[in-house]
Every structure is written in C-alpha cells, then in structure tokens.
Amino acid sequence: MAGGRIGLWYRASPAPTGPKRIATSIRRSGSTGSGPISPSDRQVPLGGLPRVAEIQLDYAPAAHKLLVSVANGDGGEFAHYVVDQSGAVHQVTRFADGVEWAGFGPDQGLYLVSERETPKRRIIKLAPGDVDLARARAVVPPGGEVIATDFWGEDPLVFVGRTMAVRYLSGGPSRLRMFDLDGRARGEGGAAAGRVGLRNGGGRRRSRLQR
C-alpha cells in the first residue's frame, strides 16, 4: 500500500478463479486501516499489464499524485504511470522507452533515469503537471560512471531539500554526486567501500504479480 493525502492506495486483483488471474487495477480507500476491499473504494484500471508484472506504488504528497512503476518481469523494461487526484491515469513511459526509474521531486517535477542512447544513464525531467515524455529535458547528462539503478533495491537518487544526491557505480564502490534541481553540480561524496543506500522518504510499496 502507499499512503495518500486521505486514505490509502493499494493494489487489487479480481477474485481468484484459478492460477491465471492478474491484478489489473489499483484502488483508493477512504479508510486508513487494513481490511477487506470495500465497495466504496474507488478503482483505477491499469490495462495492458504483462503476464508477469512487478509493481511499485509511490504517493507524492507535494504533487498530490500517485506514481505507478511496472517492471516487465525480470527483463529490465519498465513503464510508469501517473494517477492524478481525479483518478485519471496518464502513461508517461512505455517498456520500449528505456526509462528505468521515476520519482517526483520537491518542485513537483517528475525526474526520470533513462538509458536510451546511453548505457551509463542520464537524468531527465518533466515540468510539474506534464506527463508527455517527449517534452522531458535533460538535467544530468551521462558521465564517466554509471548511475546505479535497482528496481527492488535502493533508489538511484534522493532529494535532500532542493539537492539531488545521485548514486554512481565507481568500479566496485558507490559514489554520491550532488546536483541542484537543474542539474548543476553541487559537490561530490567520496567513494564508499560498500553499497551506498539511498531511499526517498515514505518508501515504495512493491508487489509481484504473475499469471
């Protein structure tokens, strides 16, 4: 589940009738507690999910939007949806777009880590309220090291105030580099001997669905 401004977002499935059922919607509940699905909960359909879908729900209180990230099984392809306050679903990226991570920043812009045309990855950004990937602008270009991504692990970047801390792979160790929200460098952390853990506030709620 992911916390909302009022109530909770959660992933819902049709009542199981056999092994080949898959969740095709998420719901918003007026309740803040756990329990059975209520008829009053509002359903938000998500069509076109793959046979094996790994889903993250991440509610952004500042933007008043729910970000839904879907992994196409273990194939390294991802799609991202934004659900607004009215319940309208906007698909921002598709599996073929090469966007591996998305998250809302403190300015309510949508930040995305993309590997399209660059295996070392770069950070692009959509203005607040914009859900058209074609209008995303480059914020942090690819460098000599690879931006680290892990769908089931740590976030590749976190926001500390109006600063982005971005995790890079520096050979074996990880290294943090700091940028402002327009991608201007603000400094660099030393390489850590082990893994540098980054997690944006609130955490992401994950589930694996299979049919």
Assess whether pLDDT exceeds 80 at residue 107: yes
Cα 120 to its chain centre, rounded Å, is 19
Supply the pTM of this predicted model.
0.79
Confidence label for 200 from pLDDT (cuts 50, 70 and 90): low
Give CA–CA dist 174/172, Å, rounded. Answer: 7
Assess whether pLDDT exceeds 70 at residue 99: yes
* 116 burial via Cβ count (<10 Å: 0-12, 13-18, 19+): middle
Which of 53-62, 103-112, 142-151, 184-193 is least confident?
A: 184-193
Assess whether pLDDT exceeds 90 at residue 42: no
Query: Between these two residues, 77 and 46, which has the higher pLDDT value?
Result: 77
Percentage of the chain surpassing pLDDT 70? 68
- The segment with the largest mean pLDDT, out of 32-41, 66-75, 104-113, 201-210, is 104-113
Q: What is the mean pLDDT of the chain?
A: 79
Which of 5-19, 51-65, 108-122 is least confident?
A: 5-19
Give CA–CA dist 148/120, Å, rounded. Answer: 9
Percentage of the chain surpassing pLDDT 90? 49
pLDDT of residue 52: 85
Query: Between these two residues, 73 and 32, which has the higher pLDDT value?
Result: 73
CB 69 within 8 A of CB 100: no
Task: Enumerate domains of the chain plus CATH numbers.
Answer: 2-143 (2.130.10.120)
Give CA–CA dist 87/187, Å, rounded. Answer: 40
57-94 pLDDT, tens digit per residue, is: 999 988 899 999 999 988 899 999 999 988 899 999 99
pLDDT of residue 141: 96
pLDDT of residue 18: 40
pLDDT of residue 92: 97
